[in-house]
Homo-oligomer: A and B are copies of this chain.
Amino acid sequence: MRQVIVAHAHCDLYCGVYDPAQAKIEAMSVLKSAQKYQDSNDEVFRDRALLIKEERAELVKHHLSVLWTDFFTADHRKEFEDLDDLFWRAIHQAGEAKKSADPAEGQKLVDLIDEIADIFWQTEKAKDMGVYPPS
């Protein structure tokens, strides 16, 4: 009996607060770090730009994984047929942007997160749990 309560209660807890803004902000950092890396000739600065890009890209992966399996439900995945593929490409792209110092890889990542955000804000669930709806 407790497990039933738990399952229900935890679904609630899980679904507390979600927003693609978290992934978007980190992805913007990935993009800008790559741009700054390319614009600089300073060894220390370039080193740090790669370091920060690495961390930010890892955070993007984390935030996207949470959206995919905690926010989006089995029903959402039926409704939005290419959702799994979109998430695979976005999380994979976070890896590409991590590996590369080419700002174009960061831009692709930002664009994929924008696609995810479009779907996110089409759901009813997002109306309760999102924080920064598109104006």
Contacts and interface: CB of A to CB of B under 8 A. Distances in A.
A85 B84 contact: yes
A58 to B, nearest CB: 10
B50 A32 contact: no
A40 interface: yes
A32 B12 CA distance: 10
A47 B49 CA distance: 11
Given A10-B100, A48-B13, A99-B6, A25 B131 contact: yes
What number of copies of this chain does the assembly contain? 6
Contact of A16 (B3, B5, B33, B77): B33
A13 B42 contact: no
Interface of A: 2-3, 5-7, 9-14, 16-17, 19, 21-22, 24-25, 28-29, 32-33, 36, 40-52, 54, 61-62, 65, 68-70, 77, 84-85, 88, 91-92, 94-96, 98-102, 131-132, 135
19 contacts: A3-B100, A6-B101, A6-B102, A9-B45, A10-B100, A11-B99, A13-B45, A13-B48, A21-B25, A22-B22, A65-B65, A65-B91, A68-B91, A69-B88, A69-B92, A77-B88, A84-B84, A132-B132, A135-B135
